[in-house]
Structure 1
Amino acid sequence: MERYSALGQLDRYGDVARAAVENHPDLIICLGSPLALRLKQLTPTIPIVATSADPVAAGIQPHKEMTQWPRGRRYRMEIS
C-alpha cells in the first residue's frame, strides 16, 4: 500500500493524482470530490473509491449510474 498526500493544498492535487496513477495500483481510495475528479480524468481503468457528500452534484458520477442500497440511505457508486 502506498500513501500520497497533497497536505491540504488544492494546487497539489494534480501532482498527487498523477503520481498515484503512474504507479498503476489495483485500486485508488481518496477523500473528497476535487481529488476524485482529477483521478477520474487521468484513468479510465483503475477503480476509484471516493468520499463525497454529493457525488452527482460534484460531477463525479452521473445520476443514472447511482443505485440505492436496499436498506438505509447509503449509495454504491462506481467511477468510470
Structure 2
Amino acid sequence: MKRRAFIAGSAALLAVPGRVPAQGTKPTKRLAMLRPNGTVPISTANSRSYWNQFFDELSRRGYVEGQNLIVVRFSAEGDQDRSGTVIQQAIDTAPDVIYCQTATMLATIRPSIPVSIPVVLLSSDPIAWGFTTSFARQSGNITGVTIDSGLEL
C-alpha cells in the first residue's frame, strides 16, 4: 500500500509544474494629459465629476494612479503659442498614451508625434482637421471622440 501511495504521489508531483506563476499584475503605464488652458492639477480624480468618472473607469480596468499608472499633466495655460512646447514636453516623457482635449492644440505639432504613441483626442470634426480620413476607420495613431461630426453624419 505504501508503494502505491508513493508512486501516486510521485506522479502527482511530476504532473505539477515546477513553478506556479503568480497572478499577473498590470505593468506600469504612463498617461500624458494635455490641456489648452486652466491649471495643471484640475484634471485629477478629485477635481470635477467627469474626471472622477474618468479615473474610476481606469481604476475599474486595473489602472490606479500612484500604483501602476503614472499621469503627467501639462497645460498651455491659455497661451496658444505654448501648445507646441507643451506637447513636445509630453512626448519627451515617453508616455504610453497621450490624451488631448482639443484639436487646435494637437494640430500645431501633429507631424512630430511618433506613430508609436497612440493619441486620444476630443475633437470637433477630425476629418476637417485632417486627423483621419473616415469616421468608420481611424487612420494613423489618433482616435477619440467627436463632439461635432459635421454634416456627413
Residue 25 of structure 1 corresponds to 95
**1:70 corresponds to:** none
Alpha-carbon distance, 1:37 to partner: 2.2
Residue number among 48, 54, 73 corresponding to 1:3 in the alignment: 73
State the Cα distance separating 1:10 from its structure 2 match: 0.7
| Correspondence for 2:104 | 34
Residue of structure 2 in register with 1:56 after alignment: 127
Higher relative contact order (CA 8 A, sep 6+): 1
Shift of 1:35: 1.9
Number of residue pairs matched by the alignment = 70
Contact 1:27 1:48 in 2 (8 A): yes
SS at match of 1:3: strand
Q: Distance in 2 between the 1:38 and 1:22 partners?
A: 16
Structure 1 counterpart SS, 2:100: strand
- Structure label with greater radius of gyration: 2
Say which SS state the counterpart of residue 75 (structure 2) adopts: coil
The answer to whether the aligner puts 1:46 opposite 2:117 as a matched pair is: yes
Q: Normalization by structure 2: what TM-score?
A: 0.41
Deviations 1:13-33 (A, max 9, x none): 010010000111000001111
Q: TM-score, normalised by structure 1?
A: 0.75
